[in-house]
A = this chain, B = another copy of it.
Amino acid sequence: MARLVMKFGGTSVGSVERIKNVAKRVQKEVEAGNEVAVVVSAMSGETNRLVGLTRDVASLHDAREYDVVVSSGEQVTVGLLAMALQDLGINARSWLGWQVPIKTSDVHGAARIQEIDCGDIIRRFEEGQVAVCAGFQGVGPMNRITTLGRGGSDTSAVALAAALDADRCDIYTDVDGVYTADPRIATKASKLDRITYEEMLELASLGAKVLQTRSVEMAMKHQVKLQVLSSFEDLPGTLVVDEEDIVEEQVVSGVTYTRDEAKVTLQQVNDQPGVAATVFGALAEAHVNVDMIVQNVSEDGKATDLTFTVGRGELDACLKVLDGLKDQVNCKAIVPDPNVVKVSIVGMGMRSHAGVAQTMFAALAEKGINIQVISTSEIKVSVLLAEEYTELAVRTLHTAFNLDAA
């Protein structure tokens, strides 16, 4: 007997038929003798519809009221799933965020879970009852409904698993696990049986949209064993675990990419102290996140190019900020370029292997792909490329690091 949290996203509960299928999935675990808490998102499309209504009513809206409206999506799903389970003869009941309660901070629209009181749920496990919990929502200190931000249901599931001291948290999604690369691009990509929290964290933040970054961080912190698997096929997925649970460590576990970045170059900036501080200070103040930065030493000691990347959605805001700095920062031109892609290799084994970056650069050079910016961490190397090279670069690196399936 194990204690499990099963999480189903919007696509998995997108219709009455699919909700019934989810109920059958849950039934299997219950009949295997497990204690089960289920976490569900709103039916796919529903959150967008509700967000649309709030936008139509008022362009600037109170985040507290936004949360009231948007959290109703999960409320519908938990009720329906509890009914579907009962229809299969399973003892089940729904739990809204305020009922559990899942206590959060009062940052409406992006609240953080602070405490979950699972006493009632655990007592009902003893009666064989399945807990069907609304993801994405909680209750704030003023007794008002909060939401955790987009993709927050993954976080709800992991937090609940931690609070319940669950043996595993299974994230059911529309892919059947974590791959060595996007299979739509790298046809030889294969599913990973296991991956470390650290690698998953890099993959999540680098664009692999399988799990929300916050949920992986939380799982790592609370040592929650995660599994990513398909809600449509009955196959084992990918386990996200501690490094010590990985038998054979790969140098590189996966190749990932994200098109969410845009490059900005300040040409011929005066090479004097304080310029970078002025630019990035002003951007930080305007809440524009800067990712990669590269600045070369100038040859003549007078002027150099300053290049950095920001989220593609923040490019306009970024250019506005730079425009306001004209008087303080002298430069020949500001050149924005949204047509870039960040391609990354990720692997725990990198820490103990020299020459990984060199292998990456050589493989790309051989295909004539120019690297614009480089950034590295202990377990990843990212390069910025012209967007048109995305597929070629991913495939090239997948082969270069011996990830191609036999």
A371 at the B interface (CB under 8 A): no
A69 at the B interface (CB under 8 A): yes
**Which of A19, A79, A86, A143 is the most central at the interface, judged by chain B CB atoms within 10 Å of its CB?**
A79
Contact A50-B76, Cβ < 8 Å, known A19-B57, A58-B83, A58-B86 = yes
CA distance A20 to B53 in the complex (A): 12
Q: Are A54 and B68 in contact (CB under 8 A)?
A: no
A64 at the B interface (CB under 8 A): yes
CA distance A325 to B165 in the complex (A): 59
Q: Are A68 and B75 in contact (CB under 8 A)?
A: yes
Query: A68 contacts which of B56, B61, B65, B78 (Cβ < 8 Å)?
Result: B78
- Complex contacts, A67 vs chain B, CB 8 Å: 79
- Complex contacts, A61 vs chain B, CB 8 Å: 83, 86-87
- Complex contacts, A240 vs chain B, CB 8 Å: none
Contact A58-B76, Cβ < 8 Å, known A53-B16, A94-B68 = no
Q: Are A80 and B93 in contact (CB under 8 A)?
A: no
Task: Encode contact with B along A97-114: 1 for CB under 8 Å, 0 otherwise.
Answer: 011000000000000000
A82 at the B interface (CB under 8 A): yes
CA distance A54 to B16 in the complex (A): 9
Contact A69-B80, Cβ < 8 Å, known A20-B57, A57-B16 = yes
CA distance A16 to B54 in the complex (A): 9
CA distance A71 to B76 in the complex (A): 9
Report the contact-size class of chain A (Cβ under 8 Å from the partner). 35 or more
A96 at the B interface (CB under 8 A): yes
Q: Are B53 and A65 in contact (CB under 8 A)?
A: no
Q: Are B96 and A83 in contact (CB under 8 A)?
A: no
A186 at the B interface (CB under 8 A): no
CA distance A65 to B129 in the complex (A): 14
Q: Chain B nearest CB: distance from A64 CB in Å? A: 7
Contact A99-B66, Cβ < 8 Å, known A56-B16, A57-B84 = no
Q: Are B96 and A79 in contact (CB under 8 A)?
A: no
CA distance A238 to B403 in the complex (A): 78
Q: Chain B nearest CB: distance from A109 CB in Å? A: 12
- Complex contacts, A56 vs chain B, CB 8 Å: 16
Query: A57 contacts which of B66, B72, B87, B93 (Cβ < 8 Å)?
Result: B87
Query: A83 contacts which of B57, B75, B99, B143 (Cβ < 8 Å)?
Result: B57
A302 at the B interface (CB under 8 A): no
Near B by CB (< 8 A), chain A positions 37-96 give 50, 53-54, 56-58, 60-62, 64-69, 71-73, 75-76, 78-80, 82-84, 86-87, 93-94, 96
Contact A64-B93, Cβ < 8 Å, known A19-B57, A87-B57 = yes
CA distance A110 to B79 in the complex (A): 17
Complex A-B, nearest 6 residue pairs according to Cβ-Cβ distance, in ascending order: A69-B79, A68-B79, A58-B87, A72-B72, A16-B56, A65-B79
Interface residues of A (CB under 8 A from B): 16, 19-20, 50, 53-54, 56-58, 60-62, 64-69, 71-73, 75-76, 78-80, 82-84, 86-87, 93-94, 96, 98-99, 143-145
If A16-B56, A19-B57 are given as contacts, then 8 extra A-B residue pairs at C-beta distance below 8 Å, sorted by A number, are A57-B87, A62-B82, A64-B93, A66-B79, A67-B79, A69-B79, A71-B75, A99-B144
